[in-house]
Structure 1
Amino acid sequence: MLTLYMIDNCDTCRKARKALDEKSLLFKTHDLRKDGLSAPLLEHILHRVPLVEAINKRSKTWRELSDEEKDFDANSGRQLLLKHPTLLKRPLLELDDDTILVGYKDGDYDKL
C-alpha cells in the first residue's frame, strides 16, 4: 500500500492527496505534525531520499533557523529533522520498500 507523508494544512500535500483519490489509489497518510517523525522512520526515509534533498529549504521553519543550524552535516541534519519535522520536504509518497517520490506537481502521479 502507498504511504503519503504529509502535513494536513499544506496546499501541495492536499493536491497530492486529491490526485491519489482521483486515481482511486489506495493509500494511507502519515501526518508529520500529528503523527510525528521518529528516528526509525526518518532513517527509513533517508535510506531512500538523500538528506540534502529531504530538507525543505523553502519552508518557514528553515527561514527561522539560525545560521549555525543551517550549516548542518549528516548527523546534525538528522537532529534538525527530528526536532522540526516540518523541515522535511513534502509530500513524500512511498511507493514500495525502495522508492519514495519527493514533492508533488500536477501530473506526477499519472503513471501510478
Structure 2
Amino acid sequence: MVEIYGIKNCNTVKKALDWLKEHEIAYTFHDFKKEPAKEEKLTEWAEKVSWEQLVNKKGTTWRKLTKEEQDSVKDTSSAIRVLSVNNSMIKRPIIEYNNLVLLGFDDNIYLSTLKVPQ
C-alpha cells in the first residue's frame, strides 16, 4: 500500500493523487493540515532521504522565515525542528512505498518504482 503525505490543495500533490488514481494504485492520503507530521516521522524520512531534500526552500513558507531562521537550518536536527512546526515547508508529496521514500512528483520515477497493476 502506498502512503502519501502532503497538502490536498497543493498542485504537485494533486498531480500525484491523480496519477495514482489513473494507474489504479491503492493509497492512503495523510493531509498535513489535518495530521501534522511529527518529529518521529520526519526523522524516519530524514534517514532515507537527506534533510536538504525534505526542506522546500522554494516555497512561500521558507521565504517567510527570517534570515536567522533560515540560517539556523543547517543539519538534520535543526531541519526537523523547523519542519515539525512548519509542515507546509516539507517537500511534497512524500510517498512511502516498500520501505522507500519518494519526494515530489515524477512520472518516470513513479512508473519505475510503484507497482502498477498489469
TM-score, with structure 1 as normaliser: 0.92
Moved more, 58-67 or 33-42: 33-42
Partner of 1:100: 101
Q: Which has the larger share of helix?
A: 2
Residues matched between the structures, number: 111
The question of 1:4 aligning with 2:22 is answered no
Amino acid paired to 1:21:
K
Deviations 1:61-92 (A, max 9, x none): 00100001111122221111011011110011
Aligned-partner SS, 1:110: helix
**Secondary structure of the corresponding residue to residue 25 of structure 1:** coil
Give the CA deviation at 1:107. Answer: 4.0
Which residue of structure 2 lines up, in the alignment, with residue 25 of structure 1? 25
Gaps of 5+ in 2: none
Q: Does 1:66 align with 2:69?
A: no
Distance (Å, rounded) in 2 between the aligned partners of 1:42 and 1:26: 23
- Residue 109 of structure 1: SS of its match in structure 2? helix
